[in-house]
Structure 1
């Protein structure tokens, strides 16, 4: 990144903070600062929520969230209590007064959004909202984290189940994991491989595995991204991360296979520099086989 890019981001942040009123102690003219208002809105009126999931969604530390919740409790807007089946877990829900306050925040937020658009003509409004959608998408992509997990980790297992369910819907004749050349979990653990899981706001939204067999090319397996997070460039990021790790392991070649129904995946592989080659395995669900030469890096642990 360049210094000019960093400065542009900082200018953008200052402009947004000033224009939407987060610098004021009484956000949107209400009795509370922005942090409390945002937490109140996140809790929502959809029942009871795990405090940890709310905290993960907002990217806040537990101490700060606890202080915000205590302030909302004092004002009678939320109820925080232990989970009925696990008292180690705290839950939070809005009271009747909290739902009323949230509805008032929604009304005032709509009015603020309208005030941003009102001075602009129709063409400018379209440009602004389109630019906002792009910024939102890119900022969301920037907060996705990648972590190497054991294939038996609950988040990894969740991704693999979702992957198999989607293939069963897309493939002609469905998808039976028992027929596929699924890697043994041990092949996706160090030193024989690894399994990457992508998380957004604490939730697993994608995965990809890498086999690192001795004396053979590296192989990428089970690349999946949750449908509602596609368009963020996550599949490309997973692919690039596995290529980097394979190269650092000393691999000079990486391979993968895919089904004809996965047209977007096939385009991604071609666009990412993969060349179609003759079949190198007996995967019954594969119609295309690809490989890519890697730029070697000094071998090191990551």
Structure 2
């Protein structure tokens, strides 16, 4: 069974999981040099956001967070999903969808009316997960040099 618990991004096991995430992105990145942006812990602390660690059989296997960003021009309260990652050994078990759902639920609890995220086209499975979860392509809402695709979903 997969469980989720809040964690500060600069404490264990969240810091280790984020390190694994950044390493995996650097190794698989094909759009030039991947730029690592170390998350600010305050951005993932309620009410600004939350960071979750996923555990299976009491082993930390993944992480992800949501953080408040500027409201949309139409007044939607936006939260951004960041750093959703699961260890390769867990893939294909539906854990990514479970993590995404948990992050969406936390964002709604914090007041989100629209969720946004960005990703890179090389992460085809991630793009498929987002589209099958109701996210639609939108114009770039940030200047993330690692991103090629931007998505949004009203909640």
Alignment TM-score, normalising by the size of structure 1: 0.47
Deviations 1:80-105 (A, max 9, x none): xxxxxxxxxxxxxxxxxxxxxxxxxx
Q: Which among 23, 36, 39 is matched to residue 165 of structure 1?
A: 23
Structure 2: 5+ residue stretches without partners = 72-76
2:100 is the alignment partner of 1:236: no
Match of 1:184 in 2: 40
Match of 1:217 in 2: 78
Query: Deviating runs (4+, > 6 A) in structure 1?
Result: none
Structure holding more helix per residue: 1
Match of 2:34 in 1: 175
Match of 1:247 in 2: 108
Match of 1:272 in 2: 133
Q: CA deviation at 1:174?
A: 4.2
Q: Is the 8 A contact 1:149 1:197 kept in 2?
A: yes
Quote the Cα distance in structure 2 between the aligned partners of 1:189 and 1:217.
16
Larger-Rg structure:
1
Q: Which one has more relative contact order, counting CA pairs under 8 Å at least 6 apart? A: 2
Pairs within 5 Å for 1:1-302: 143-172=1-30, 173-177=32-36, 180=37, 182-213=38-69, 215=71, 216-294=77-155
Deviations 1:28-63 (A, max 9, x none): xxxxxxxxxxxxxxxxxxxxxxxxxxxxxxxxxxxx
Structure 1: 5+ residue stretches without partners = 1-142, 295-302
CA RMSD, Structure 1 to Structure 2 (Å): 1.4
Aligned residues: 149
- Secondary structure (helix, strand or coil) at the match of 1:267 reads helix
